[in-house]
Amino acid sequence: MSEQTFIIVGASLAGAKAAQELRERGFDGRVVLIGTEPERPYERPPLTKDYLRGESDRDKAYVHAADFYEQHEIELMTETTVTAIDTDGSQVTLDGGRELGYDKLLLTMGSEPRRSSASGAELDGIYYMRTLADCDVLRGRLADGGRVAVVGAGWIGSEFAASARQLGLEVTVIDPLAVPNEQIFGAEIGTFYRDVHVQHGVEMLLGQGLEAFEGDGAVARVRTTAGKVVECDFAVVGIGITPRTGLAVDAGITVENGIVANERLETSTPGIFVAGDAANAWHPFYERHIRVEHWANALNQGPGAARAMLGEDVSYDRIPYFFSDQYDVGMEYSGYATSWDEVVFRGDREGGEFIAFWLADGRVVGGMNVNVWDVNEDVQALIRSRQVVDAEALRDPDTPLGSLVADPAA
């Protein structure tokens, strides 16, 4: 029986999956999973989708059944915040002052919504979306109907807008970019998503930022930088997230765009690991540090960090992946494309069933399948192969994607 204590700070997807992995790998020391929220660990994607719309139960959002933690002797401490890490003494301080010693520590503090600094941002009726508690409040607002102004056309804003529209609200989306997510995917995909929202009756005010929230006590309208005034009953802000790094900074752990880690997900302080939204980890395939703010990264990196804590040989090199659902448009994206030369489409772009490939120097660096399924492995294999591919063959739906990846053994 191990005498060791492994502490995990942040009881969400990455943390819960790490705790599970420790037990599955036979670690029989103490596992303490500490989280600020009152809930046991849950997944956030349903909070802008089915759970927000009242189409799925709360229970479906949880990572594990209620008795999982007790059954696996994982000490889950909810409504508890770690306020400090003493790296010399190998202990953490909890709110209330209690101290807990650790042998290894995993940081999975995730991220928090960036706050608007616009004039009037302190008015009532302005919401952010991160937690189940946020979602429950917004479910109430949606049930009242009316008009909502959504600030930010990123994934959170866009998914919230789609759900609100599906529930019959009048929805206006405001974003300074010409089309949604233009900086990440370029104009073609951005235009596709803009049109999806317009077709569903959303007013898209693009190419204009937010100037101010206005109202007497509570927001009643928003004013854009182009001078447009949008009347609303409430507003939702989705303007990106910031990794939670304060604890690490105070403890002297290296932080730069997240908590910096090597490919074993170990931070600059030996014995302290990081996973999920908070991690800016060295990626062996991309040969640089990357921070990924998506579900699949938390799901897989948590267990990866757990294995590293157990001393296993870990080199976390998964190709980043995420998904989004808006109305009847489902998509998956793989890759990490920071620059590209062209975007090549396969399938029916107008009809909304296609795969887009981002090409740099003739190589696939990103792929998005929209309402086309079971192609993800092929897309990732193309990215991983780093092969130059024939754009015509990529466009041709009769050429199986798998056939474009040369057999490395051949």
Ligand X SMILES: Cc1cc2nc3c(=O)[nH]c(=O)nc-3n(C[C@H](O)[C@H](O)[C@H](O)COP(=O)(O)OP(=O)(O)OC[C@H]3O[C@@H](n4cnc5c(N)ncnc54)[C@H](O)[C@@H]3O)c2cc1C
Per CB under 6 A, residues contacting ligand X are 9-15, 34-37, 44-45, 47-48, 81-82, 108-111, 129-130, 156, 244, 247, 276-277, 293-296, 298, 322-324
Contact assessment for residue 150 and residue 236, using Cβ atoms and an 8 Å cutoff: yes
User: Nearest approach, Cβ of 122 to ligand X (angstroms)?
Assistant: 22
Residue with Cβ nearer ligand X (222 or 251): 251
Contact assessment for residue 386 and residue 380, using Cβ atoms and an 8 Å cutoff: no
> Phi and psi dihedrals of 190, rounded to 5?
-60, -40
User: Nearest approach, Cβ of 325 to ligand X (angstroms)?
Assistant: 7
DSSP per residue, 306-338: HHHHTT------PPPEEEEEETTEEEEEEE--S
Residue with Cβ nearer ligand X (136 or 341): 136
Q: Cα angle vertex 55, ends 352, 369, to 5°?
A: 25
User: Nearest approach, Cβ of 410 to ligand X (angstroms)?
Assistant: 34
Residue with Cβ nearer ligand X (14 or 405): 14
Residue with Cβ nearer ligand X (160 or 282): 160
User: Nearest approach, Cβ of 317 to ligand X (angstroms)?
Assistant: 18
User: Nearest approach, Cβ of 302 to ligand X (angstroms)?
Assistant: 7
- Could you tell me the CA-to-CA distances from 103 to 12, 23, 29, 30, 87 in Å, in that order? 21, 16, 10, 10, 11
Residues 341 and 357: their CA atoms lie apart, in Å, by 11
Q: Select from 160, 171, 183, 34 the least CA-distant residue to 95.
A: 34
Residue with Cβ nearer ligand X (36 or 224): 36
Residue with Cβ nearer ligand X (11 or 212): 11
Residues 243 and 241: their CA atoms lie apart, in Å, by 7
- Could you tell me the CA-to-CA distances from 87 to 245, 247, 269, 351 in Å, in that order? 15, 11, 8, 56
- The tokens describing 126, both together, are 């302005």
User: Nearest approach, Cβ of 71 to ligand X (angstroms)?
Assistant: 21
User: Nearest approach, Cβ of 264 to ligand X (angstroms)?
Assistant: 17
Residue listed under structure tokens 């659902």: 325
Residue with Cβ nearer ligand X (229 or 249): 249
Residue with Cβ nearer ligand X (211 or 277): 277
Instruction: Tell how strand 203-206 and strand 170-175 pair up.
Output: parallel
User: Nearest approach, Cβ of 327 to ligand X (angstroms)?
Assistant: 14
